[in-house]
Structure 1
Amino acid sequence: MDDKKDLLILGGGLVGMTLALAAAKKGISSHVVDRADPAELTDEGFDGRASAISTASWSLFRNIGLADRLEPHACHIASIAVTDQMKPGRIDFQPESHEPSLGRMFANRELRLALFEAAREEPLIAWHSRAEIVERHRDDFGVAAILADGRRLEAALMIAAEGRGSPTREDAGISIAKWDYSHRAIIAGLVHEKPHDNVAWEIFYPAGPFALLPMLDTESGEHRSALVWTVSESDAAGTLKLGDRAFLAEVEKRMGGMFGEIRSVGPRSSFPLGFHHTARITGQRLALIGDAAHGIHPIAGQGLNLGLRDVGTLVEVLDEGLRLGLDIGDAQLLARYERWRGLDSFMVALATDGLTRLFGVPGQAASAIRRAGMGAVERMPMLKRWFMDEARGVSGDLPELLKS
């Protein structure tokens, strides 16, 4: 039997491993169990899988000591352009004079490398990779997971961090509201002729959003962006099968030539788009974080940031409870986490769902109304600032770890 830890984190992805590191900064120990092979997740090469890290999420990384590792790999977002089919009436979001950027873009590989390196150096984290869980146990006295090789890992609190299809959530019998958008996001890395000028583009077409996210240039000076292109499920297979030349022609058509020639495209991947939100995010000695608790459309790039807000909140709640002498799995602590995160995550989920449906309405009249609305927002500084604060994650009741 392995030594007992405070937390048993099931899922060692970006959110789960960040939780382990943030908890360790407060003296909270963790078992982290993940079925993936870290070497495969950190393979060389840029495949387009990237994440936008908001201002608040960057504060979290800085406060747990990851900023120095990550900053050399960050591409700052100088502005965000939102447009309906590249027609007049777009919104341009720009940072306040005291803010260096609206956020940072990272290749997911770089985020994983930084997290994994830090986890290997942290004595309070016991990392069990390439591990299969065959049993989960929770009772009044603690939690445990039995691995396929017979090891039994024990802790005071179980964390479900396995993502959208969380088996821990299913095992706990937590109900979930969900629906399928019948769309698929196609992801690829692009190399292009002209610089992106650190602008993140969200271009809305009736079939779905078409996002171009700025990435750092290559060492040889080639300009790069990450593409997230939403297509209907019925068109996805055909789009993925296009040859590089035909695929790039379709991409260039939707970009309106803003980056000049698209010189190459990396490996393409895709995932189905859907919405889900759990009825609750806690159970007996159990807390859900990240996509195990809420899955949203990538339309505003808030999925990972929402999970990192879960991390900051849960760590603050547990740390305060321990300082009061409470058991880390105490129901009072979990109830506070539920109250703090439940409404915020639900409102963000509803907002992204509403945007998805609003911009999916076809027709010239609908497009004209949307563009008129965006033009009005562009002319209203206070409303525009509110949208920017939401995107940066700095509104509402933030935990200390997410404050600058």
Structure 2
Amino acid sequence: MGQQTGHSDRRIVIAGGGIAGLSLALALKRALGEAYAIVLADPALAAPPRQDNRAYAVAAAARNMLEVLGVWEAVAGSSAAMTEMVVTDSRNPDVVRPVFLTFDGEVEPGQSFAHMVENMALLTALLTACREANVEMRPEGVRGFDAQGETVEITYAGGERIAALLLVAADGARSRLRERAGIGWVGWSYHQSGLVATLSHERPHGGRAVEHFLPSGPFAILPLSDGGKLGHRSSIVWTEREENVAALLSLDEADMLEEIERRFGLELGELALESKVAAMPLGFGVARRFVGDRLALLGDAAHLIHPIAGQGLNLGLKDVAALAEAIVDAARLGLDPGSADVLEAYESARRFDTVAMGAVTDGLNRLFSNDVTPFRLARDFGLGLVDRMPGLKRFFIREAAGLAGEPPRLLRGEAL
């Protein structure tokens, strides 16, 4: 590892103000204080966050990190703990949907394996914390960069050039910075879209999350905090074949609700839409490398997976924890946090886990998004087998919670 350069170049620039970019900026600023300038660059910072209806299953390990960063307290009151996870496999017309697999919601006694948190609440809390921590918030994008030995010269959209030790590309799955670095991308479309909406319902969900595997793809019902027109709320993530999406989105509210009710079921009573249904194309992708010369890819810029297991956000927050730990450990030893050794340590910490999770979600989607009888029989037998093996279920819960193996310190709830 190289020695640090002069104080004027002790700057780390993060391009992209989503949840992963904000979390990294906050983690670095909390650990390094004023010794380093942490810059967050994104044109979206010029305006308040736009309201949307996305919600995330924040795993126990990610919640540990948010607690250490002082953010969890701001969202805990509006979050909903998952107390149970239920998996069914059926067809739309089926009146009875047999439960093949159930998971208890606790990874440890009194500790839920995940909480549902709405995007706006988490984004707002992270923005507030970054401003209070004196992260430099720059409301413009990064247009280009050029690694020059011990620094990287960064060009902002407005033309200004500055030197930094490291550039982090957190600019999404279509990352322009990844392309500019010449880092390849292996991926494909699932020819499916994820339809997302918030529903209110008559009866309480009790913290229960449900994954209905239907022929066109999984239909997930995820518990949100109480409220809404009917007193209780859930988020749905509805996977649908690409060719059906335009017709579904053109439905009026009554017809859309009828389509949702066919998939949602009747257990929670009357339903009402709390938001418009939004659609996002689904695909898989992974960068051929997670790092370049004084460049690190973070979150969706490094990988994109199917939402079938609700792990997309958690995968990005694992990147944050690993990269923050590598940077902070190097900086405290007086070493160059943008050096090749530091970046290689980050890539080796994240690549296998990322590819493994991508393979799992890809395989699950292909196995369950069909109505072929032999596949149905095989997968239902497998689900039933897992349901009768408590040890295996505990293993899956710890994996889903992000606590398996030896996670980075932030994910264990330890400050850097």
Structure 2 length-normalised TM: 0.92
Q: Any residues of structure 2 matched to 1:29-68 within 5 Å, and which?
A: 29-37=37-45, 39-43=47-51, 47-68=52-73
Residue 114 of structure 2 is aligned to residue 103 of structure 1: yes
3-state SS in 2 of match to 1:341: helix
Q: Which amino acid aligns with 1:222?
A: G
Q: Name which of structure 1's ranges 371-380 and 97-106 shifts more when overlaid on structure 2.
A: 97-106
Other-structure match for 1:246: 255
In the TM superposition, residue 89 of structure 1 has moved relative to its aligned partner by: 4.3
Other-structure match for 1:91: 101
Q: Which amino acid aligns with 2:41?
A: V
Other-structure match for 1:384: 393
CA distance in 2, matches of 1:79, 1:26: 36
Gaps of 5+ in 1: none
Q: Is the 8 A contact 2:214 2:370 kept in 1?
A: no
CA distance in 2, matches of 1:90, 1:230: 20
Q: Which amino acid aligns with 2:22?
A: M
Considering only aligned residues, what root-mean-square deviation do their CA atoms show, in Å?
A: 1.7
3-state SS in 2 of match to 1:258: coil
Other-structure match for 2:276: 267
Q: Any residues of structure 2 matched to 1:100-179 within 5 Å, and which?
A: 100-123=111-134, 125-129=135-139, 131-179=140-188
In the TM superposition, residue 4 of structure 1 has moved relative to its aligned partner by: 4.6
Q: Is the 8 A contact 1:89 1:372 kept in 2?
A: no
3-state SS in 1 of match to 2:64: helix
Q: Is the 8 A contact 2:9 2:151 kept in 1?
A: no
Count of residue correspondences: 397
CA distance in 2, matches of 1:96, 1:402: 14
* Identity between Structure 1 and Structure 2 (%): 38
Other-structure match for 2:4: none
Q: Is the 8 A contact 1:93 1:384 kept in 2?
A: yes
Q: Any residues of structure 2 matched to 1:3-402 within 5 Å, and which?
A: 4-27=9-32, 28-37=36-45, 39-43=47-51, 47-85=52-90, 87-94=97-104, 95-96=106-107, 98-123=109-134, 125-129=135-139, 131-218=140-227, 222-402=231-411
Gaps of 5+ in 2: 1-7, 91-95
3-state SS in 1 of match to 2:405: coil
CA deviation profile, 1:22-63 (whole Å, cap 9, x unmatched): 1112115311111214644254xxx43111100000001011
CA distance in 2, matches of 1:178, 1:118: 35
Q: Is the 8 A contact 2:15 2:141 kept in 1?
A: no
CA distance in 1, matches of 2:175, 2:246: 26
Q: Is the 8 A contact 1:244 1:265 kept in 2?
A: no
Structure 1 length-normalised TM: 0.94
Distance 1:73 1:29, change over 3 A: farther
Q: Name which of structure 1's ranges 81-90 and 275-284 shifts more when overlaid on structure 2.
A: 81-90
3-state SS in 2 of match to 1:226: strand
